[in-house]
Chains A and B, each alone.
Chain A
Amino acid sequence: MAETTGPAADVLPGSDMNAPLLEVEDLRVEFAVRGRRIPAVRGVNFALEQGKTLAVVGESGSGKSVTSQAIMGILDSPPGFVTGGEVRLRGVDLLQQDEETRRTVRGNHIAIVFQDALSALNPVWSVGFQLGELYRVHRGAGRRAAEQKAIELLDQVGIPDAKNRVGHYPHQFSGGMRQRVMIAMALALDPEVLIADEPTTALDVTVQAQIMRLLRRIQDERNMGLILITHDLGVVADVADDVAVMYAGQIVERANIHDVFARPAHPYTKALLRAIPRVDAVGRELEVIPGLPPNPAALPSGCPFHPRCRAADPERCGDEEPPDRQAAEGHLARCHFAEEVYRDER
């Protein structure tokens, strides 16, 4: 896959190919709103290996997208600020790099696919221009060569008649095709890590399945690490290797996909799984999680989930913030009763 045009900024200085692909450690992000600091991401930890898929699941406002933007370094600041932690790509802490290095990491090493391709693509430039721009800026390709690469990319993501479509504008594509263009753009420079931020949320169900298949195929072909951000556990089930469940800016449960589905160790994950509509439960009322996600500006004391939790101990959970507990080998949950929940005793 290393068919690069011109000089490639392919190796990050100081990187160690034996180090894990991407490690996020104690990442913290705050937003400054009217003189107040509001925590959006409160100490996130995870690791992503080459060729693996990590699904980050959570309700809106749980900090999934902010985490991905902090990793990319495209957080709007102000108001958003990374206030602590490390984001290590092959051992290099990106947060310590200067802006120029971070810029070359974007697209070259880590790329992102956004949710709504219609607004994420610039309406006044052709898709060919927007794709080719990556080769022109990062690889110094000429207009012709860049367009040729753009056609190849469109072809790879399954856009029919790529040669003619390359000069078309985003509004001339259907929703699914636009999302394919977004994916092509993310793949252009052959990144090692692809972040897909709710890539199928804006699409209808049949197209969702096509896009997920495309992402999986591409990941297999290129052996990338994929971070799949979604609020839909259904999407995760047959794609992900690992799952990280986010709540109130923290990862509350992290484990292998099979473990999470079979034996969740956090009451929140349990409630999420119960809330998935089931075909074999026709006529039964849909389960919901009572209450609303917490306001990051006024988090509940103790465990942020305790006001909505079925298994909460009113005294302990309201006072004491739970640490990460190991419910089983490689299965972490941020709950005082992780082991009991895991054994389905609570």
Chain B
Amino acid sequence: MGRYVIRRLLQALLTLFITLFLLHYLTALSVQIRGNPALLFFGGERTPDPAMLAQIERLYGLDNTCFDRPGDPCLGPFVERLQNYAAGDFGTTLNGNRDVGELLTIYIPNTLRLFIFSTITLVTLAMVLGTWAARRRGGLIDHSVRGATILIDSVPVFLILLAYVYILAVPLTNWARDIWGAESFMGQVFRPNYNPDYPWTTIIIPGIIVGTVGLATLTRLVRASQLENLGSDFVRTAKAKGLKTGRITVVHVVRNSMIPIVTGVGYTFAFALSGAVLTEGIMGIPGMGRMIFQAVQRQETNLIIVGLTVTAVVVILVTLVVDLLYAVLDPRIRYD
């Protein structure tokens, strides 16, 4: 077990390092090919005073000559950046000169809230529907569940979001306000956009939508793994041992079924990050997804790198947790 954990930790660190380097290299290439982002500082039209340009370049760490040589990996600035991150310094934005670390403290909690709601929705619905379908295998319910989840999965998330925002949100909000008042939970929950005064309430619906959209994969996974275990030889053994049905389910089915499900949740979580960009954009939630999207539009090199670094860290952490849970659940992995 100890060796397994250490190996996984080292793998996670290595993955993180490689991700950071690739991010750095790609953005360096973009600067080398597309041109100097410091020019943006001057509106992008006028030719700036060389002295001022040099000062700006120094300010944002763009003064290294490696940025003039396409293909140069720019190791110097890379090491510098890692040192800054380690010291808690994430730099500033080109536009408005805001501290990126401060922006993160606003954006990360919002995205986390979105993920909490979407993960809860996803896991609960998938467990309930998957178990239900497995129990009624081959019946109407089984086919309906599988059909419906695939149908939801085939519709792009932004379409569902747009449909919600433009068709449902306003009438629902008006209806709820008439009954419970504008400042109540019900009055806020259906809003078509984020409200900074109600950071939890106004993220519930977007979270549910993101969670529902990823449902098909996990539901099928739950169904398949339960079916596999219900029909397995060791469940037959458990019956032959004279155990009660309840004990068989709890001791001999659930734990075995959890192994693929935990993996599935991990994957879906990482996958939801891409959904977050669209969701946060459409619902106006100031979160990591929207931040990265806008940073790309405005050529905010530093912001892009920081944003993607944070997402990479999250994905690597989730994968690590999944791997460790895996080992807790399955001795065959623990003792490999």
Contact = CB atoms under 8 A, between A and B. Distances in A.
A123 B244 contact: no
A114 B251 CA distance: 20
Interface string A205-233: 00000000000000000000000000000
A124 B256 contact: yes
Given A119-B234, A121-B237, A171 B332 contact: yes
A185 B231 CA distance: 20
Contacts of B242: 103-108, 134, 137-138
A123 B332 contact: yes
A172 B335 contact: yes
Interface string A88-123: 000000000000000111111001101010011111
Nearest to B331: A169
Interface in B210-259: 231-234, 236-244, 247, 251-252, 255-256
A276 interface: no
B255 A106 contact: no
B203 to A, nearest CB: 37
Contact of B233 (A104, A116, A126): A116
B232 A124 contact: no
Contacts of B332: 123, 169, 171
Nearest to B231: A76
Contacts of B252: 122
A74 interface: yes
B240 A74 contact: yes
Contact of A124 (B236, B237, B243, B330): B330
Contacts of B335: 169, 171-172
Given A114-B233, A134-B242, 19 more contacts: A76-B236, A103-B244, A106-B239, A107-B240, A108-B242, A114-B240, A119-B232, A121-B237, A122-B234, A122-B237, A124-B255, A124-B256, A125-B251, A133-B243, A134-B241, A137-B243, A137-B244, A172-B335, A185-B237
Contacts of A124: 255-256, 329-331
A72 interface: yes
B106 to A, nearest CB: 43
A76 B137 CA distance: 14
A284 B329 CA distance: 54
Interface string B247-276: 100011001100000000000000000000
Interface residues of B, number: 23
A103 B242 CA distance: 5
- Interface of A, helix, strand, loop or mixed by DSSP: helix
Nearest to A9: B242
A137 B331 contact: no
A311 B241 CA distance: 45
Given A105-B242, A124-B331, A172-B335, A137 B247 contact: yes
Contacts of A172: 335
A114 B240 CA distance: 10
Contacts of A121: 234, 237
B143 to A, nearest CB: 16
Nearest to A119: B233
Nearest to B244: A103
A241 B256 CA distance: 41
Contact of A120 (B231, B237, B244, B255): B237
11 contacts: A76-B236, A107-B241, A107-B242, A116-B233, A119-B233, A120-B237, A121-B234, A126-B331, A137-B241, A169-B331, A169-B335
A125 B251 CA distance: 9
A183 to B, nearest CB: 12
Interface string B54-74: 000000000000000000000
A133 B236 contact: no
Contacts of A112: 240
Contacts of B331: 123-124, 126, 169, 171
Interface string B105-136: 00000000000000000000000000000000
Interface in A51-77: 72, 74, 76
Contacts of B233: 114, 116, 119-120
A308 B316 CA distance: 64
B197 to A, nearest CB: 48
A121 B233 CA distance: 7
Contacts of A169: 331-332, 335
Given A171-B332, A172-B335, A120 B243 contact: no
B240 A106 contact: yes
Contact of B240 (A104, A111, A123, A133): A111
